[in-house]
Amino acid sequence: MSDLNSNRKIAVILVADVVGYSKHMEHDENSTLQAYSECEKILKQFLSKRNGSIFNTGGDSVLIEFTSAVNAAGFAVDFQTKMMERNKSGNVLTKLEFRIGINMGDVVSREGNLLGDGVNIAARLEALAQPNGVCISKSIYDFVAPKTKLNFNDLGVQKVKQNSFHAYDVLLDESQRRKIRSEKSWVSRKSVSACILALVLLTGAGIYSAGILDTKIEPSLNQKDYTQSDILKVLVRPTSYLSSNDNLSYLAQGFTTYLGTALAQHPGLNVSPDTTAKHIQTVNLTDEQIKAEYQTDYIVDTTIQVSGEKIRLSVKILDLSTEQTVASEAYEFLEADVFEHQDKIADLALQKMSMMDHSSSSNRRISNDPIIYKKHILAQANMLSWTPEGHQKAMGLIEEILELEPKNMGITQMLAWLLQQKVYLGMSEDPNKDLSKSLEIAEVNLKQRDTGIIDAIALASSNEALLGLFEQSCARVPLMNQLLNEKQSKARPHDYAMTAWINQNCENFEVARLAYKNLFKLSPHYPAWVRYYYAYALLALENLDEAERYIQENKDLDYSYYGTNEILKLCLVYIAHKQENFELAAQYFSEFEAMPNSLNLGYMEGDFAAARSKVFFTQFSDVLRKYGMS
């Protein structure tokens, strides 16, 4: 390349692209073109205010140069906010959504165009962004975070195609907070004795098995594969204030705001914005309309009445899937006790709506102290994020609880899972020491039997497997199955999840299939790793038709667990190939490549690392390689 017609410089690059543009064009070309033209006008209006200049376009995308990272981020937020407002308008025929990526880096200017890694990374960030979202590189974050009041979500180091970079989401609202496992979170097989480490999750630890299972798990449920998203959508309606005492009217807004904020801390809950709640109240939608239009799972209603100095607070939680009231409580207190009762309501709501069910305690509460119980739930949620940041938050919360209740067996067991997760995330300085400590805690809890026994068996067995003690690990499996059979209707969803995973790793796929089906019925919002593990089990059983039906019913749901929809799409590739419909398999793989989360075979191998036999994964990966998977 000649330097005569090119110049190098550092530039801030923004890439914006329309989500699903080709589908819009296929549906209504004229309307799509008109809609894009309208959006383009809005884009240019905001550009003039932020000193940005377009240097390239691609029909449904635009590349923009800024001289300021703050201006680029400000433009992105302004534009995306305006687009969401436009799409909510009843006058818009074709609603276009955009993804935006922003990077700062080295570029080459040639004949009015900009080229180079600075542009390439911006394009990768755009691909990583959510619809209506903004994804930025660390170079942008370092400039913007100290100078703005924007909120961010650290995604860690991500790899899209051949580019690795540290990414952040700019949060326009809390509903955009997501969990993505970073490239660095995957521990190399050669780096630790956890080279055989699977997705050993607190949500269902993988166990190595010798395939010696004789116990049968009878399905206590019908055969419908009942699954839903692992994100619960919650509407906190504005608190009703039924009093003429205006001096205490502030309590209504205070309770609404506090409750929404407290619930939003849980990654498994998607709390509708205040503006949505107020709109629903204004137009007086019925519960049935709320469920249909906003895909809401739970509604929280609170009412405040004042009589003299006494305040009466009523709270009701409605499960829209069953149309049942799952909680109805009333409290009387004085103004000085407001904060205590705010915590009680948040505790109650978290208890009733938390479908995670990953506590290591028995069915009783982890603690009678509502503050400790809340900390425990938030610790679980942060651990489930499977990020270093989430791990540190969870560890901090558990350490705070142990200072207050050092002999709480359920909390010590959760500490043991965190020690194992520390190894898995590559954060441990001494993996053998942390795994041995985790195993020691599990053994103590098994002797005490003061905690969830199936969870404790899984904890012990998984640690033994990670330490290379496979015979000891596998010897625990029959007992786990026996205990699940004995518990049956009293078994927790987590018990079924753990047992399903273990049997699957033992190649006892039929037992795993039945356990998963029980799990789905008991806990339809269980974290989504079980969705694609169930698909794996069906494929291993060669139940291709059943697997295809199941995946088609579940592939377009909103999952918090990273890569769920992408893996389900790859399962469709495998099914179509096995059915010798190679054209359809290629189409599915093309659709996979256009999806937001980047996966490769090395990443997916972690799903099978806990299985002693790699026969199915070898077959699965061989098929995917035929279509370009690497």
Domains in the chain: how many in total? 3
The answer to the question of residue 251 being in a domain is yes
pLDDT value at 110 more than 70: yes
**pLDDT at 189 > cutoff 50:** no
- Say if residue 312's pLDDT is above 80: yes
Residue 107: its H or E element: strand 98-110
Is residue 532 within 8 A of residue 567, CB to CB? The reply is: yes
Structure confidence at residue 533 (pLDDT) = 92
**In the numeric block, which tokens belong to residue 115?**
């080229």
- Residue range 67-83: average pLDDT? 95
CA 99 to chain centre: 19
> Is 138 within the bounds of a domain?
yes
The predicted-structure confidence for 346-376, as pLDDT tens digits, reads as follows 777 777 775 444 333 333 457 767 678 778 8
Query: Domain of 564: which CATH number?
Result: 1.25.40.10
The predicted-structure confidence for 418-451, as pLDDT tens digits, reads as follows 998 888 777 889 989 999 999 999 999 888 765 5
The residue assigned the tokens 């937020």 is 77
Together in a domain, 457 and 434: yes
567 and 613 co-located in one domain: yes
Q: Is residue 479 part of a domain?
A: yes
* Pair (485, 614) in one structural domain: yes
State yes or no: pLDDT of 621 exceeds 50. yes
Residue 164 β-bridge partners: 159
φ, ψ (nearest 5 deg) of residue 4: -70, -35
Same domain, 291 and 424: no
291 and 225 part of one domain:
no
What digits encode the pLDDT tens for the residues 113-139? 888 888 989 988 998 899 999 999 999
Provide mean pLDDT across the span 394-413: 92
Structure confidence by residue, pLDDT tens digits, 571-620:
999 999 999 999 999 999 999 998 887 788 887 876 776 677 778 999 99
Question: Residues 374, 327: one domain?
Answer: no
The CATH number covering residue 160 comes to 3.30.70.1230
Q: Helix (H, G, I), strand (E, B), or coil: what is residue 270?
A: strand
39-43, 56-60, 82-86, 122-126: segment of lowest average pLDDT:
56-60
- 445 with 469, same domain: the answer is yes
Query: Could you say which of 353, 368, 394 is where a domain stops?
Result: 353
Report pLDDT for 203. Answer: 33
In a domain, 188, yes or no: no
Both 389 and 502 in a single domain?
Answer: yes
Q: Whose structure tokens read 């899972």?
A: 417
Residue 182 lies in a domain: no
Residues 214 and 267 in one domain: no
Residues 476 and 619 in one domain: yes
Q: How many residues does the chain have?
A: 630
State the CATH number of the domain containing residue 290: 3.40.50.10610
Which of 135-144, 327-336, 468-477, 493-502 holds the top average pLDDT? 135-144
Residue 399 in 3-state DSSP?
Answer: helix
Residue 275 lies in a domain: yes
Residue whose token pair is 């204004």: 282
Nearest to 489 by CA among 213, 202, 216, 217: 217
CA distance 571 to 540: 11
Q: How far apart are CA 189 and CA 502, in angstroms?
A: 21
pLDDT digits 0-9 by tens, 202-223 = 333 332 232 323 334 443 333 3
Q: Do residues 211 and 285 share a domain?
A: no
The per-residue pLDDT for 8 is: 83
Which residues are 332's β-sheet partners? Answer: 312
Residue 101 · residue 127 · CB < 8 Å? yes
d(CA 264, CA 266): 5
CA pair distance 319, 321, nearest whole angstrom = 6
Last residue of a domain, one of 353, 374, 394: 353
| Spatial distance between the Cα atoms of 128 and 118, rounded to a whole number of angstroms | 16
Residues 104 and 200 in one domain: no
Residue 250 lies in a domain: yes
- The residue from 353, 370, 392 where one domain ends is 353
Kindly give the residue spans of alpha helices, DSSP state H, lying in 405-527. 409-424, 431-448, 453-466, 470-475, 477-487, 493-505, 509-522
Kindly report the average pLDDT of the chain as a whole number. Answer: 80
Q: Is the pLDDT of residue 404 over 50?
A: yes
Task: Tell me the residue range of the domain where 336 lies.
Answer: 232-353
What span, in angstroms and rounded, lies between the C-alpha atoms of 343 and 396? 20
Give whichever of 244-248, 336-340, 442-446 has the largest mean pLDDT: 442-446
In a domain, 184, yes or no: no
